Amino acid sequence: MRELTPQMLHSLKHYSREDFTRDLVAGIIVAIIALPLSIALALASGVSPEQGLYTAIVAGFLISALGGSKVQIAGPTAAFATIVAGIVAKNGMDGLAVATILAGILLVLMGVLRMGSMIKFIPYTITTGFTAGIAVTILIGQLKDFFGLTFTRSPVETMEKVEEVVHTFHTANWTAVGIGCLALAILIVWPRFFKKIPASLIAVIVTAGAVKLFSLPVNTIGDLYTISSALPRLTLPALSYDTVAAVLPDAFTIAVLAAIESLLSAVVADEMIGSRHNSNMELVAQGVGNAASALFGGIPATGAIARTAANIKNGGKSPVAGMVHAVVLLLVLVLLMPYAALIPMPCIAAILFQVAYNMSGWRTLVQVVKHSPKSDVAVLAVTFLLTVVFDLVVAIGVGLSLACLLFMKRMADVADVKEWDYVEDTGDDQGRLKPVPSHVMVYEFTGPLFFGAADKIPHIERNTGRNVLILRMRSVPAMDITALNSLRRLYEECKSKGIRVLFSHVNEQPMSVFQKSGLYDLVGEESFVPNIDAALDRAVELNV
């Protein structure tokens, strides 16, 4: 599975008519679920309703066709809503298209360079923190439509939106609130009695019917947006150095977030079906899908956990189900899109409230806070707050930096240097110790030797009366150049005082550093011995 081969090719080898029937049914059901979500997420992202469908159609089809997962369903997701809205507000639709294309190129490169496994190095606290932060920003962004507020300005940042909600709350439209509460009630109650038909679709139909039938003073999508049922068309964005420079950080964030979310979704899917996805091929497919989505007027896409789970539960067996889902949405776009104008904005807000709630993972958040070290909780809290107060670019950058610093501190705390007066006697069946000869010093290093722990390497600042120093390195898995320079300094100090240095049990990576740096040749091959017994024997020979 390491080769870059789409899962589609593997699935079709033993594909049957029965499999196609299951994929067809699952694809249609997933499309029904994706329809209101795609529209809602497009509006939350600050783009037109049909662009959400363009994304689900183009990216959804290509990612299923080329991806490394059997059952992954891709499309617009809540994780990108605040990022996309910010890019559109600052750099326009061309800026969004350029950022998404660049992100697609980055994702393809990540897959080609076999970086699928590198995603595991993103700490869980960071993904939990920014996911909860995105959920809060989505919720705040929908308060205006849920309460039917009349804003005096158009804020972009989350905290500015909070301020505007407070200042304009006296303009609340309580009829809109009633429609929003009706939608929320349907979203909560309907799934308890009816599993097959998505609650979001029922909420859309009921609230749109109520607003139209009773001529209620509630804004609908058609009141705020021009609805188009035109097919997605290939459009090249205006490309310039200034645009690329402006959106490159956002492109990097989109790529990282798409990689994390899609691979997490694929892992969840693997657990549900007992399979294994090809992470590198999935990244390549995500890159191609995102670039194509941007070229056809869409927004960023990634694997959607909820839609993927719905695909599995409804019998989806292969990538064909995801392709069927995209085709069904294409038919809806052409035949039924004008009816989207009737959907009330408070209903869209209610759907996104539920998306935010499900996305927040508050139970997981509570467990992490309760059972994690304070340093991990600090990383989570910082990532969460920066996501809400600033943006995801800042949150991920600062969160990763803080997590790396804390990790290095932990590794430095683990690293230790201890002087031994007695060492194990390997010839003693009872495991007793034997004394170190009087002319020998034995220091044992434990843990990785890197710049954070280099200061623990001792000094030989005065004559000790002993003429051999043994450095045991059996518990040193890795070493960097900073620690090597400290060892070089220790060697020079010993040499100036006539003390011979022996290195015992040097592992593969540290030995490679010794050899590449030239210190191995400087000290001499005979100074590197396989174990402590050989080191003590050599020390005795040197004293003769």
| Secondary structure string (H, E, C) spanning 444-465 | EEECCECCCCHHHCCCCCCCCC
Rounded to the nearest angstrom, the gap between the alpha carbon of residue 7 and the centroid of all alpha carbons in its chain is 22
Q: Specify burial of residue 301 (Cβ count, 10 A radius: 0-12, 13-18, 19+).
A: buried
* Burial per residue of 104-139, b for 16 or more beta-carbon CB atoms within 10 angstroms, e otherwise: bbbbbebbeeeebeebeebbebbbbbbbbbbbbbbb
Q: How far apart are CA 93 and CA 294, in angstroms?
A: 10
Instruction: Provide the pairing of β-strand 440-446 with 416-420.
Output: antiparallel
DSSP letter assigned to residue 196: S
**Is residue 428 pLDDT above 70, yes or no?**
no
Averaged pLDDT of the chain: 90
Residues 176/148, Cβ–Cβ less than 8 Å? yes
Q: How far apart are CA 520 and CA 250, in angstroms?
A: 46
**Is residue 539 pLDDT above 60, yes or no?**
yes
Q: Provide the token pair at 171.
A: 């303009």
**Is residue 2 pLDDT above 70, yes or no?**
no
Per-residue confidence (pLDDT) for residue 524, from 0 to 100: 92
Per-residue confidence (pLDDT) for residue 544, from 0 to 100: 60
Alpha carbon distances (Å) from 18 to 8, 61, 327, 504: 17, 21, 20, 65
* Burial per residue of 250-263, b for 16 or more beta-carbon CB atoms within 10 angstroms, e otherwise: bbbbbbbbbbbbbb
Per-residue confidence (pLDDT) for residue 283, from 0 to 100: 95
Neighbours of 1 (CB within 10 A): 12
Q: How far apart are CA 258 and CA 63, in angstroms?
A: 12
Per-residue confidence (pLDDT) for residue 164, from 0 to 100: 95
Higher pLDDT, 79 or 440: 440
Per-residue confidence (pLDDT) for residue 1, from 0 to 100: 43
Q: Provide the token pair at 81.
A: 């809503």
Per-residue confidence (pLDDT) for residue 503, from 0 to 100: 96
For 229-277, how does the pLDDT look when each residue is reduced to its tens digit (9 = 90+)?
899 999 999 889 999 999 999 999 999 889 988 988 888 888 888 888 9
Angle between helices 174-193 and 199-213 (to 10 degrees): 140
For 453-487, how does the pLDDT look when each residue is reduced to its tens digit (9 = 90+)?
888 888 877 667 789 999 999 999 999 999 999 99
Name the percent of the chain lying above pLDDT 70: 98
Stated as kind and residue range, the H or E segment containing 15 is none
Nearest to 373 by CA among 413, 406, 408: 406
Q: Where in the chain is the domain with CATH 3.30.750.24?
A: 416-543
Hey, is 14 helix, strand or coil?
Answer: helix
Which residues lie closer than 8 Å to 239 by C-beta, 6 or more apart?
Answer: 98
**Residue 102's pLDDT band (boundaries 50, 70, 90)?**
very high
Sign of the torsion angle spanned by Cα atoms 510, 516, 517, 521 = positive
**Is residue 531 pLDDT above 80, yes or no?**
yes
Residue 344 bridge partners (DSSP): 220
Per-residue confidence (pLDDT) for residue 318, from 0 to 100: 94
Rounded to the nearest angstrom, the gap between the alpha carbon of residue 30 and the centroid of all alpha carbons in its chain is 24
pTM of the model: 0.78
- Across 37-111, the runs of DSSP E, i.e. the strands, are 74-75
Per-residue confidence (pLDDT) for residue 489, from 0 to 100: 93
Tracing tokens 């593969």 back to the chain, one arrives at 508
Angle between helices 49-66 and 279-295 (to 10 degrees): 150
Q: How far apart are CA 70 and CA 182, in angstroms?
A: 37
For 300-354, how does the pLDDT look when each residue is reduced to its tens digit (9 = 90+)?
999 988 899 889 988 898 999 999 999 999 999 999 888 889 999 999 999 999 9
For 104-138, how does the pLDDT look when each residue is reduced to its tens digit (9 = 90+)?
999 999 999 988 877 767 788 888 888 888 889 98
Would you say domain 416-543 falls under CATH 3.20.20.220?
A: no
Per-residue confidence (pLDDT) for residue 358, from 0 to 100: 86
For 22-77, how does the pLDDT look when each residue is reduced to its tens digit (9 = 90+)?
999 999 989 988 999 899 999 989 999 999 999 999 999 999 999 999 999 999 99
For 339-378, how does the pLDDT look when each residue is reduced to its tens digit (9 = 90+)?
889 999 999 999 999 988 888 878 888 888 888 888 899 9
**Is residue 212 pLDDT above 90, yes or no?**
yes
For 147-206, how does the pLDDT look when each residue is reduced to its tens digit (9 = 90+)?
999 998 878 788 999 999 999 999 999 999 999 999 999 999 999 988 778 899 999 999
